[in-house]
Amino acid sequence: MPFFLLQATANSASNYLPIVIQIFFALGLVTLMIWGSDKLGPKRKTSDKLQNFESGIEISGNARQPMAIKYFLVAILFVLFDVEVIFFYPYAVNFRALGWEGFTAVVLFVASFLAGFIYIFKKGAMKWEE
């Protein structure tokens, strides 16, 4: 029997059964690992382990102090320009099939992000000394 006759012809709920089974197995495995580590793992609570950890730095002062917006701005800009790279993958995979039209689209895409980068650079978003 040819393979195409074995495939479902209509989009039905039975087509999604393997995905649902995989999700249940994944959730079951995660639940089992978390439960197993809780039940089988050692439980030694000392004052050092119960203290907050600040990346190796001694705790000093209140954690509710205002923080410079520069940290958040740099984080958001990093995410923005990092996600930009993800959009290059489809072009890199299909660059021959897309031809000059695809190349033009990618050049316009890069130009728009370059214009944004120049704008934030001129606005002083990358200056730390202020």
Domain-by-domain residue ranges, the chain?
3-122
Residue range 60-76, pLDDT digits in tens: 777 677 777 777 787 88
Confidence of residue 29 (pLDDT cuts 50, 70, 90): very high
- The pLDDT value given to residue 30: 97
CATH (one of 3.40.718.10, 1.20.58.1610, 1.10.760.10, 3.40.50.300) for 3-122 = 1.20.58.1610
User: Which tokens in the block code for residue 71?
Assistant: 């940290």
Residue range 85-111, pLDDT digits in tens: 888 888 888 878 888 898 898 899 889
Q: Considering the entire predicted model, what is its pTM?
A: 0.43
CA distance 49 to 27: 29
8 Å CB contact between 95 and 103: yes
Beta carbons within 8 Å of 14's beta carbon, 6+ residues apart: 8
